[in-house]
């Protein structure tokens, strides 16, 4: 059955640009509403539905853009919503930015949604089911050599996500993370606290982009960082991003998604490919 929340709840943090505090307030929504963002700060309170046709990858995060109305930095809140199995919700915003919370993880969003008491609704849940293998490719250059990224979608009865993190320059240890969505609380315990990260040589570049919010980033130097929550925390966070980005499809997916050196760009490429009907079936 579809799921919403029982009552509204706010969640606050700093904008991803590090310029100001921002708050989202999560509200219940009727069955078949989907995920809808509401810009309370703009005249007429325009709405932006969570759909792949509005998805954009900007710099280091994902956004939704409809009629030049921006919803910035969507991946972590969308991962929390999908991770808890919630289908119908309205997210009221006081700026264009979803807040950065709990050190660029999804944990505070998960906690807020649990406080709002998820509740089953009377309409059956619909899925986009992967019925045949599909894949998307991208590539990058490191020290003059080309390296490929690939994201695969394979048929599977349950949502399952695997990520292989591998840097050609060994800036981080090669690591694997795997997540199988067995219960709506599994995401909370296995992935929600995995934090975004940067590598020390990126610090100045990223600081120019996100300002003071960089203070919440996990920083790796010489392949290590202090007080990791899991040995493979970076790979787990890549799964958070993947789940959040695939949420832009607008309905939950059933399949096994395997990413190798992938990121927001490939995630959204896959979301668009599935939504447009190449191997997906809405049931």
- Domain limits, the chain: 3-120, 128-282
Higher pLDDT, 213 or 147: 147
pLDDT at 117 over 70: yes
Q: Residue 282: its pLDDT value, please?
A: 55
Helix (H) or strand (E) holding 178: strand 175-180
Helix (H) or strand (E) holding 78: helix 75-83
Radius of gyration of the chain (CA): 18
3-state secondary structure of 217: coil
The superfamily (CATH) of domain 3-120 is: lpxc deacetylase, domain 1 (3.30.230.20)
DSSP letters for 134-171: EEEEEEEEETTEEEEEEEEEE--SS-EEEEEE--TT-S
Burial degree of 150 (CB within 10 A; 0-12, 13-18, 19+): middle
Q: How many helices (H) and strands (E) does the chain have?
A: 6, 20
Looking at residues 132-138, what average pLDDT do you find?
95
pLDDT in tens, 37-79: 999 999 999 999 999 999 999 768 999 999 999 999 999 999 9
Q: Residue 213: its pLDDT value, please?
A: 80
How remote is the C-alpha of 6 from its chain's centroid?
23
pLDDT in tens, 175-227: 999 999 988 899 999 999 999 998 988 888 888 888 888 888 888 988 788 78
pTM, two decimal places: 0.95
pLDDT at 19 over 50: yes
Q: Residue 85: its pLDDT value, please?
A: 97
Q: Tell me which architecture the domain covering 128-282 has in CATH.
A: 2-Layer Sandwich (3.30)
191 close to 239: Cβ distance less than 8 angstroms: yes
3-state secondary structure of 191: coil
């Amino acid at each position: 059955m579809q799921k919403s929340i029982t009552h509204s709840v706010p969640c606050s943090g700093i904008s991803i640009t590090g310029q100001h505090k921002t708050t989202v307030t999560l509200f219940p929504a009727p069955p078949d509403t989907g995920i809808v963002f509401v810009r309370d700060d703009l005249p007429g309170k325009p709405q932006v539905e969570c759909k792949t046709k509005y998805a954009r990858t900007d710099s280091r995060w994902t956004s939704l853009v409809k009629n030049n109305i921006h919803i910035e930095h969507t991946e972590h809140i969308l991962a929390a919503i999908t991770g808890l199995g919630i289908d119908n919700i309205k997210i009221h915003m006081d700026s264009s930015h979803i807040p950065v919370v709990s050190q660029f993880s999804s944990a505070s969003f998960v906690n807020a949604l649990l406080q709002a008491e998820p509740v089953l609704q009377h309409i059956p849940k619909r899925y986009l089911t992967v019925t045949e293998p599909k894949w998307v490719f991208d590539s990058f250059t490191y020290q003059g050599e080309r390296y490929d990224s690939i994201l695969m979608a394979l048929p599977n009865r349950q949502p399952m996500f695997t990520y292989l993190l591998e840097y050609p320059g060994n800036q981080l240890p090669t690591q694997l993370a795997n997540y199988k969505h067995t219960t709506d609380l599994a995401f909370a315990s296995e992935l929600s606290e995995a934090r975004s990260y940067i590598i020390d040589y990126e610090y100045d570049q990223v600081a120019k982009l996100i300002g003071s919010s960089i203070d919440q980033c996990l920083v790796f130097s010489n392949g290590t960082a202090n007080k990791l929550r899991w040995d493979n925390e970076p790979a787990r966070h890549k799964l958070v991003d993947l789940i959040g980005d695939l949420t832009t499809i607008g309905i939950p997916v059933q399949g096994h998604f395997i990413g190798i050196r992938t990121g927001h760009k490939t995630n959204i490429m896959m979301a668009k490919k599935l939504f447009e009907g190449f191997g997906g079936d809405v049931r």
